[in-house]
Structures are given as C-alpha cells and as structure tokens.
Structure 1
Amino acid sequence: MIPILTTTSTIMCPHGGMAQLITSNTQALVGGAAMLLQTDVHLIVGCPFTPVAYSPCVSIRWLTAATQTALHNVPVLLQNSVGLCLNAAQVPQGTAIVVQVQQQAKGI
C-alpha cells in the first residue's frame, strides 16, 4: 500500500518549481484534503530551467497512477505515480518529484 497524493502534498519539477495541486475531485477527502486524480493537470510555478533559452516547466501530466484505487473509475495518484513535467510547448523537461505526502490513506 502506497500513500495517496492530496492537495496538501508537495510536488516539484526537477528544477525546483512548485506544483499547484488543484483537483477536479470534490468528493473524496483524506484529512480534509482532496485526493488527486490521474486526469488532473497541475500547473508549475517558479521553474528556473534555462538550458539554452528560457524554457521553464509549466505543467505536470500524469502517466501512471493507482491500478486498483479509483474515484468514479479514475485512478488516484500515489506517492510512486509518474508525472511528466512539460514546458509551454508541451516538451518534456523531466519527471515530477513527490516531496511530501500524507500517511493516513493508502492505495494500490
């Protein structure tokens, strides 16, 4: 069992930008915070990535999520879910880093 991500989790891009964790889920809460869903797209703020030209991460799209834990047939995000950080042109910049999670509810 792996911790479920919620709106109080901390997720960053690989360059230090912070994800804004907003979800379409308004029904399932863990400790008062909404569970995140695989269909959620999270905006990133403060990414300083500048390989040659300014190209910060601006969003996270989730590639993997729970295989057996879902809300209305939409998988919830887990601590080990893989999210791809994208720039404004939707070019991958690396994978999201889950920094902090709740420990009350877990999923598979």
Structure 2
Amino acid sequence: MPGNLLHVNATVTCPHGAQATARPAQARVLVAGQAVTSTADPYTVTGCPFTVAGKPQPCVTVRWVVPSARIRVNGSPALPRSAVGLCQSAEQVPQGPPIVTVVQQRAEGT
C-alpha cells in the first residue's frame, strides 16, 4: 500500500497519545529538507501515561514490523505512512500500533 514517506519531524504518537521521536541514523536521504526515516532509526516514546492494574507500563519504543517492500534508505527499508508498527513497553510488552498524523506530502513510496 503506498504512502508518504516518514521523516524526522513526522508526527507519530503511541496509542495513548505520547509523542514518538525518531533519531535518524543517516542524513543523506532528504525529503522537504528533512531526513527520511527507516527501520534502522530508533523511535523513542516519551511521556506515555499507560498503566496496567496500577503499574506503569508506558510505551518507550516503536518497532516497525511492516516497512516499505521496495524503498531502501542506506540499505534499510524506508517507512511510508502505511508502515505497520508496534509500540512496546520497557519490558517489550506490545502496547498497540503507533499513530501517524502528520507527514510530508511530496515523496511517496510502497
């Protein structure tokens, strides 16, 4: 499924509303002047309020499980808006899919 490529300033949140931030491993492939993200780039979630039975279980990372099938950035699959990810707690407990709300509108891929 095609979608606009994610970049470092795309708005990605966990299912509980906390912001996920990409730390790009490369700065050569740009779209609208911003680094394109791939599966090689760690996404860190900060400020997640999720708890289970009174125990904090905040989302801390996003693991992308279905990235682009065709586009690669420095050898790693790129992340189109249609990419499927999974937010995880520090204990690697799945918390739900990330939500992509704002992304650049110029470059598209599958």
Query: When the two structures are superposed, what TM-score results if normalisation uses the length of structure 2?
Result: 0.93
State how far apart, in whole Å, the 1-side matches of 2:63 and 2:84 are. 9
Q: Deviations over 1:26-47 (max 9, x none)?
A: 1100111100001222110110
The number of residue pairs the alignment matches comes to 108
After TM superposition, give the deviation of residue 72 of structure 1 in Å. 2.8
Contact 1:25 1:37 in 2 (8 A): no
Structure 1 segments unaligned to the other structure (5+ residues):
none
Secondary structure in 1 matching 2:6: coil
Deviations 1:15-72 (A, max 9, x none): 0110012110211001111000012221101100012111100010110111111123
Residue of structure 2 equivalent to 1:6: 7
Matched, 1:104 2:106: yes
- Distance in 1 (alpha carbons) for counterparts of 2:93 and 2:41: 18
2-side partners of 1:67 and 1:78: how far apart?
A: 10
Counting only pairs closer than 5 Å after superposition, residues 6-25 of structure 1 correspond to structure 2 as 6-25=7-26
Following TM superposition, the consecutive aligned residue runs of length 4 or more in structure 1 with deviations greater than 3 angstroms are: none
1:80 to 2:82 alignment: yes
Unaligned regions of 5+ residues in structure 2, if any? none
Is the CA contact (8 Å cut-off) linking 1:40 and 1:61 kept in structure 2? no
> Once superposed, what is the RMSD of the aligned Cα atoms?
1.0
Secondary structure of 1:63's match?
A: strand
Q: Percent identity?
A: 38
* Higher normalized strand content (fraction of residues): 2
SS in 1 for 2:51: coil
Q: How does 1:27-42 map to 2 (within 5 A)?
A: 27-42=28-43
